[in-house]
Structure 1
Amino acid sequence: MSGHLVPQLVTEGEQARALRLEVRAFLREEIAAGSFTPWVDTWLTRWDNDFTKKLAARGWVGMTIPTEYGGHGRTFLERFAVTEELLAVGAPVAAQWIADRQIAPSLLRFGTEEQKQAFLPKITKGELCFGIGMSEPESGSDLASVQTKARKVDGGWRVTGRKTWTSGGHVADGFFALARTEPLDTSNRHAGLSQFIVDLRADGVSIDPIIAMNGSHHFNEVTLDNVFIPDDRVLGTPGDGWHQVTSELAFERSGPERFLSTFVPFEEALAHLRATSAGTTGTAPTQRTGGALGRHIARLTALHHMSLSVASSLQAGENADTAAALVKVLGTTEEGDIAETVDRLAGDCAADNPRLQDLVDGALAQRPGFTLRGGTNEVLRGVVARSLGLR
């Protein structure tokens, strides 16, 4: 395998380890105080501005943003330690997640000095929340087929189109919208796309909820009706949007949120297994289910090391797109497999552990989205195959 597919294995340093333990202690205190209840897939489903500001006050938001832009100038490996701890306990981190994970790195790479000064300090303080404006109702996984269009006018652009599956769009302050700014060139469909920083409270923006089958609401459809975007809110170079968007994907696809969305029910299942094995409570699971939990521990350990290695590559400024795609494919598959295993265990002991059953219900409700968001696994397998020269 090529080196860029499997980054060099790295280990966590003492500084990151100490930081991890500090975060862990903070989270134990917050849970004990009733600040939040651990849940499933909380980087997407649990939006809590106050909790985000608590994290920001401790320097755990905007960690990799340079100090000259209000950030903390820490490493991606240190940020990895913090985010993994937050996800492992199902903390309500959706309010800062998109802004911290990919909006800030994109601004640092492509933004103007004015844009960096305008947005990065507020992201670090937990005062500015973003969504993503890529997906569209008719585009599926074919991002290059976006129908949103932007036309040049005096002092800026007028943007018209629809974006869908915008997580947190109803509470976010803005998003980066991908739009076509030049006529479609069928010989190069990726050309002529641009990114715009859109204020989601601007005139011409309307946001409609997408209600899940279980009644939850975190997805939205955002309609842009001739929305004016000033020239100073174009991100990067007009026409270079495809390159900019794809540069975000290593940040979006490789983090621990791609394998820890169902970790809370998994941990509850392990606690139940320990209790029943000790004979202290409830119905013991079958040997087959117990063995499956052990296999998941091994897979999660491997995914932790893979994701940590991608964080190291990002820190070094290396191309980690293919490795990130691999983490996403394997990680989101594992999240779903965990949901199924824990569902079988919960079926054996539903009367003994209603908390476990609630978590399983939450995991199964979220499972369909695991392998879709951030690029379907089918598409990402193609990315990996092309990197290996197989397609």
Structure 2
Amino acid sequence: MHPFRFDPVSLPPQAEVLREEVRAFLAEELASGRITPHRNAWGSFDPEFSRKCGARGYIGMRWPSQYGGHECSALERYVVTEEMLAAGAPVGAHWVADRQSGNNILAHGSEAAKQAILPEIAAGKCFFAIGMSEPNSGSDLAAASTRATRTEGGWLLNGTKVWTSGAHRVHYLIALARTAPRSEDRHAGLTQFIVRMGEDRVLTRPIYNLYGGHDFNEVIFEDTFVPDDMVIGDVGAGWQMVTGELAFERSGPDRFLSTFQLMRQLIDALGASADVRAQVAIGRLVAQLATLRTMSLSVAGMLERGESPNLEAALVKDVGTAFEQEIPEIARLLVAAEPSLNQGEPFHEALAKAILTSPSFTIRGGTREILRGMIAKGLGLR
């Protein structure tokens, strides 16, 4: 049985100094009109803003300087992440590369991959997508059927990935593929590959959402060549890396701050005239937010110590995304408004965006059912 622990973490003084620096940078971006908070989230794709973040040292913060990093702590990186999300900064272009793909390459990639890719990520010039989900397999990553077969100097990939966010505008995709036949151990025989996008044998098809937006994609590999130095880790050891990678994906502030801008707009819309019902609702949301922040910060502390808090991260993600989904529902009850994406009114636009995107929160990064199964197993309940 795995006992859950969320030990309190105190931020070091240099993290608080960094927080003020980041706030000043974001305030300048807001004042100039380059950021419109209620229209942005960590899914917003703005390469120019990413390059600014890279120039300021806000990407690849924990990586060694030899790879373009800045050798900061996980807690310093946490502060930057939190401030970016709280301000509604358009960090989506570099988000996946900075949060997980770069860390994966740093820990398990070849020296050639590290030298070629990590400095570009840290500079805010190289963007990644994650190729895990596949048709007909739901959230069961172990059911992956994309195949990788040996060829001279590398591998040939064949198969299809779906719900691949940003695949149409990134430079690389990390794909999970089967390099050995299925066996009794469902997690064996899987390997991760760094695939350069835009190649002739990589086909990307858009999956449009209900309001016509293009975030998701279907990615098809047809004898796509991947050189040996773009294999991540040992062949057949992909599952262990995927599960470790998900701790970075599931535990951060992005798993409870996706609708934070709507919460801010809701408080502004209610103003000083908020009745007791509204005050109780807002107080409960603020209390939940404070608790989630404490839990998430604790996981950042574990990552700083080199631990693998996979189950704690799963719990943060499950509770956090439920919180994110609750905010638009409460907002609709407290304020009479017609949600609209093009009305120009911050609360209406933030509410519209949240209503349209919030159903995905408990799917992306692992469905609620998968996470609760992991949590139950960790507690010895199954």
Quickly name the TM-score band, shorter chain normalised.
over 0.9
Counterpart selection for 1:375 from 356, 366, 370: 366
Distance (Å, rounded) in 1 between the aligned partners of 2:361 and 2:85: 15
Whether the 8 Å contact between 1:41 and 1:262 is mirrored in structure 2 is no
Matches within 5 A, 1:145-164: 145-164=143-162
Give the secondary structure class of the aligned counterpart of 1:333: helix
Whether the 8 Å contact between 1:289 and 1:344 is mirrored in structure 2 is no
Distance (Å, rounded) in 2 between the aligned partners of 1:39 and 1:354: 9
Query: Which amino acid letter does the alignment assign opposite residue 142 of structure 1?
Result: D
1:348–1:135 Cα change, 3 Å: closer
Query: Which amino acid letter does the alignment assign opposite residue 235 of structure 1?
Result: I
Question: Hey, what does 1:243 align to over in structure 2?
Answer: 240
Give the secondary structure class of the aligned counterpart of 1:141: coil
Matches within 5 A, 1:225-244: 225-244=222-241
Distance (Å, rounded) in 1 between the aligned partners of 2:356 and 2:31: 27
TM-score scaled to structure 2, two decimals? 0.96
Distance (Å, rounded) in 2 between the aligned partners of 1:312 and 1:48: 29
Counterpart selection for 1:326 from 299, 315, 324: 315
- Counterpart check, 1:307 vs 2:296: yes
Counterpart selection for 2:170 from 169, 172, 188: 172
Query: Which amino acid letter does the alignment assign opposite residue 296 of structure 2?
Result: S
Question: Hey, what does 1:362 align to over in structure 2?
Answer: 353
Distance (Å, rounded) in 1 between the aligned partners of 2:53 and 2:179: 38
Distance (Å, rounded) in 2 between the aligned partners of 1:382 and 1:250: 16
Whether the 8 Å contact between 1:40 and 1:263 is mirrored in structure 2 is no
Whether the 8 Å contact between 2:339 and 2:349 is mirrored in structure 1 is no
Question: Hey, what does 1:127 align to over in structure 2?
Answer: 125
Give the secondary structure class of the aligned counterpart of 1:323: helix
Counterpart selection for 1:193 from 182, 190, 195: 190
Distance (Å, rounded) in 2 between the aligned partners of 1:199 and 1:89: 32
Whether the 8 Å contact between 1:41 and 1:261 is mirrored in structure 2 is no
Q: Which moved more, 1:339-348 or 1:150-159?
A: 339-348
Distance (Å, rounded) in 1 between the aligned partners of 2:212 and 2:220: 22
Give the secondary structure class of the aligned counterpart of 2:293: helix
Give the secondary structure class of the aligned counterpart of 1:375: coil
Distance (Å, rounded) in 2 between the aligned partners of 1:55 and 1:345: 37
Counterpart selection for 2:330 from 302, 324, 341: 341
Question: Hey, what does 2:5 align to over in structure 1?
Answer: 6
Question: Hey, what does 1:281 align to over in structure 2?
Answer: none
Q: Deviation at 1:369?
A: 0.5
Distance (Å, rounded) in 2 between the aligned partners of 1:353 and 1:226: 47
Give the secondary structure class of the aligned counterpart of 1:237: coil
Query: Which amino acid letter does the alignment assign opposite residue 220 of structure 1?
Result: N
Question: Hey, what does 1:224 align to over in structure 2?
Answer: 221
Q: Deviation at 1:42?
A: 1.5
Question: Hey, what does 2:35 align to over in structure 1?
Answer: 36
Question: Hey, what does 2:201 align to over in structure 1?
Answer: 204
Q: Deviation at 1:355?
A: 2.1
Q: Deviation at 1:386?
A: 0.8
Q: Deviation at 1:203?
A: 2.0
Q: Deviation at 1:350?
A: 8.0
Q: Deviation at 1:240?
A: 0.8
Whether the 8 Å contact between 2:314 and 2:374 is mirrored in structure 1 is yes
Q: Which moved more, 1:215-224 or 1:329-338?
A: 215-224
Q: Which moved more, 1:324-333 or 1:352-361?
A: 352-361
Question: Hey, what does 2:265 align to over in structure 1?
Answer: 268
Q: Deviation at 1:367?
A: 0.5
Query: Which amino acid letter does the alignment assign opposite residue 112 of structure 1?
Result: S
Question: Hey, what does 1:292 align to over in structure 2?
Answer: 281
1:257–1:303 Cα change, 3 Å: same
- Counterpart check, 1:255 vs 2:252: yes
Distance (Å, rounded) in 2 between the aligned partners of 1:354 and 1:197: 42
Question: Hey, what does 2:305 align to over in structure 1?
Answer: 316
Distance (Å, rounded) in 1 between the aligned partners of 2:161 and 2:332: 34
- Counterpart check, 1:94 vs 2:92: yes
Q: Deviation at 1:255?
A: 0.3
Whether the 8 Å contact between 2:331 and 2:351 is mirrored in structure 1 is yes
Distance (Å, rounded) in 1 between the aligned partners of 2:29 and 2:279: 31
Q: Deviation at 1:41?
A: 6.3
Q: Deviation at 1:345?
A: 2.6
Q: Deviation at 1:346?
A: 3.1
Q: Deviation at 1:103?
A: 0.8
